[in-house]
Amino acid sequence: MARVRAGEVVRSAVLGHYIPSFVCHAAEAGYDCIWLDMEHRTWTTREIQSLMPLFHLYDIDCMLRPPTLEKTGLYRFLEDGVTGLMIPHVPTAERAKFLVDAVKFPPIGDRGLDNAGLDSGFLQSGDAQAYTEWANRETFLTIQIETPEAVSNVDQIAAVDGVDFLFVGPGDLGLRLAQLGDHDGSQLEAAFQKVAAAAKANGIAWGCPASGPEMIEKRRSQGAQYLANSGDFMTLKNGLMAGIKQFD
């Protein structure tokens, strides 16, 4: 959150499989954050818990996309040391308010207090007020804008107190817009601009995937502060494709 507050870019990689060394390599390469994907990939709770000390050791943030909307299931990830949560397919401000209620402490939300997880060093300090203020300030909630309904409601979603990021999901959103007639991508690009405007108007950050210098520069010029451009899936695929060509 410090980079966001300073107006800087959060440079993120993506991890969908249990590869502990990826955390070290991403941090050493200069990434600020790793997006852990549990929406489309299979992780166990113990795998997530075992990775979190590595994130803290190498001083790199973790944004986790969870497979659940269950309240205690969400904030347990924060107790385990995750820096922030990115929730897919949030179509309305009402859904956003529900999520804020789940992952933010009072007076913003209604998250349950434990203060004995990795996020507090397993210490359970007696100053609950200081801990909850820290957690509300330094952990973040990211709302994904992935449907036409979400785009139409993005101004109201961005205005919800406790929403820290908006994140455009161009895969799902582009698919749905194409099915509605957006064959040249102009409606998708307009959606990016609308999200950027909503984030700016409400003083919050926004982001998206962005591959290649030209796309990174374009989204940055629109004000994006969270950009993801690399991950284990494509890195492994591209590496293997490059390796097999050597045999030719």
Q: What is the pLDDT of residue 125?
A: 72
Q: What is the pLDDT of residue 178?
A: 97
Lowest mean pLDDT among 123-132, 141-150, 222-231: 123-132
Q: What is the pLDDT of residue 88?
A: 97
131 near 111, Cβ under 8 Å?
Answer: no
Is the confidence at residue 36, as pLDDT, over 90? yes
Q: What is the pLDDT of residue 224?
A: 97
What percentage of residues in the chain have a pLDDT greater than 70? 100
pLDDT in tens, 97-122: 999 999 999 999 999 999 899 999 88
Is the confidence at residue 83, as pLDDT, over 90? yes
Q: What is the pLDDT of residue 86?
A: 98
Torsion of CA 168, 170, 171, 175, to 10 degrees: 120
Please report, for residues 67, 120, 212, the alpha-carbon distance to residue 82 in angstroms, rounded to integers and kept in the order given.
Answer: 14, 11, 28
DSSP assignment, residue 180? T
206: nearest Cα among 157, 138, 134: 157
Q: What is the pLDDT of residue 93?
A: 98
- CA pair distance 140, 162, nearest whole angstrom: 8
Q: Model confidence at 80, in pLDDT bands (50, 70, 90)? A: very high
> In 3-state terms, the chain is what percent helix, strand and coil (to 5)?
50, 15, 35
Q: What mean pLDDT do residues 32-59 have?
A: 97
Q: What mean pLDDT do residues 8-23 have?
A: 97
Is the confidence at residue 210, as pLDDT, over 90? yes
